[in-house]
Amino acid sequence: MPITRVRGVEAHATEDQVSAEEPLEIRLAYTLRGESRLQRLAVTMRTPGHDAELAVGFLVSEGAVRAPQDIFAVESAPLQGGQTDPNIVVVRLAEHTTFDVGRLERHVYTTSSCGVCGKASLEAVGVAGAPVLPPGPTLTAATIHALPRTLRAAQAVFEQTGGLHAAALFTPRGALVRVREDVGRHNALDKLVGSFFLDGRTVPPAHLLFVSGRASFELAQKALMAGISVLAAVGAPSSLAVDLADEFGMTLLGFVRDDRFNVYAGAERLTL
């Protein structure tokens, strides 16, 4: 995009690359008591790309999808003339899929940069059927220290724009498995989780999640619903994220940068 770059008192016209941002509407198609239904579920601002993964990951975090077999199809909404709307994604559930329709309709988070306000949100996670996190994996400090460098090297779009967040899955020894980027941290994580479900499998167990920016309640909740036991973040966690990690046995690390980090919950998974 054309910009004016100012250095001191001198200005000159040039161009710069900025992160794309557009709204995505997620719709859910399902069968209830033999009747086909289509529900507008959410609208999120996102970076276009991996939209099917984003929609599926969102449904995993909301408890509507628990296994890859719950998904029948993911498609763009049809328009007249045989065209499709790239900003509307319809997730069609398999007929056998069951979930709490009433809870899904009522459960709308009011988010902020620090996560979600209200202790009642912890109860909502429990109602959604959050999994019991198993012991492990065992992690070393050296593995945690290496995460920022590895992620930065893998963030192709960030290197061009400087404006995207990332969510990355690593093995316990620090090998990068997969990364997704978006203007929103929660969208990047939904894309990451959804990518595995669309591959026909759940998120690999005993791995760790590393995210840019803060560790909000919403990110911790999404990680928990995906069965991820370790959440590490470049920035600070919110108090509700710490509460959730304590309650469900998640390891939560913050300020993971410059060869340092803080352990806010789940220190038993670390060998220091």
Active-site positions read 114
Cα–Cα dist 165/163, whole Å: 7
Strands (E), 109-259: 111-112, 115-116, 139-140, 165-170, 176-182, 208-211, 230-233, 251-257
Structural contact between residues 45 and 184, judged by C-beta atoms closer than 8 angstroms:
yes
Structural contact between residues 157 and 19, judged by C-beta atoms closer than 8 angstroms:
yes
* 241: nearest Cα among 222, 267, 259: 222
DSSP secondary structure string, 4-63? EEEETTEEEEEE------EEEEEEEEEEETTEEEEEEEEEEEE-SS-HHHHHHHHHHHTT
**CB atoms closer than 10 angstroms to residue 159:** 12
